[in-house]
Amino acid sequence: MPVIGRLVLLVYNLLMLVISGAVVAVSMGWFAPLAYYDMAVSTPENKIIMGTVGIIIGIIALIMLIWGLKPSNRTDAVTVEKGLAGEVSISIAAIKVIIMKAVKQVEGVKDIKSVVSSTAGGLIVKLHIMINPEHTVPELAQSLQAAVKDNLEKIGGLQVAEIKVLVDDFNVVSK
């Protein structure tokens, strides 16, 4: 849920706590909340304000309901092929195994963490790597991108939109 959604949810929940507390207080015999309500709607201007607040609370409740019922965008698998016979998908975990196989082909990479996301244009792969400082970053990154793209396309039958490489660290080799 986005940050603004969490903020709206916080305000909404606080408001619902106040309203539920007032309802419980009235049901227990404490009528001060009713007196405040009568005072709040005693003039036509205040009735308009209270009606507007009620509409705003209703809209917020509707937004919270929609956000709560909306399915998550998180995908655990990527569809490779759809046809008359059915659908073929590969899990994100399997895609990461293919990526690790490709990384083993490139000399100089010491550690890697991959993040895979799927878009309409194909896979977006983000590689966080630690490399040996004896290798140049541009050449190593280019070799890594080519090997990963080639393996994902050949082994997985996947379309790759973009491969981003971030060198997080250098593995200092002690002599």
Report yes or no on whether pTM surpasses 0.75.
no
Phi and psi torsions of 161, nearest 5°: -85, -40
Pick the CATH number of 77-170 from 3.40.50.300, 3.50.50.60, 3.40.190.10, 3.30.70.1350: 3.30.70.1350
Q: How far apart are CA 125 and CA 78, in angstroms?
A: 13
State the pLDDT at residue 72: 66
**Mean per-residue pLDDT, 103-110:** 88
User: 88 and 79 in contact (C-beta within 8 Å)?
Assistant: yes
Residue that the structure tokens 């073929």 belong to: 88
pLDDT tens track for 23-82: 898 888 888 888 888 888 889 998 899 889 889 888 888 888 887 787 766 668 888 888
Residues 99-126 have a mean pLDDT of: 89
| Residue 130 near residue 111, CB atoms below 8 Å | yes
Task: Spell out the alpha helix ranges (H) of 106-172.
Answer: 137-154
The domain locations on the chain are 3-69, 77-170
Quick one: pLDDT band at residue 174, thresholds 50, 70, 90? low
Strand 87-91 and strand 77-82: the pairing is antiparallel
CA distance 133 to 110: 10
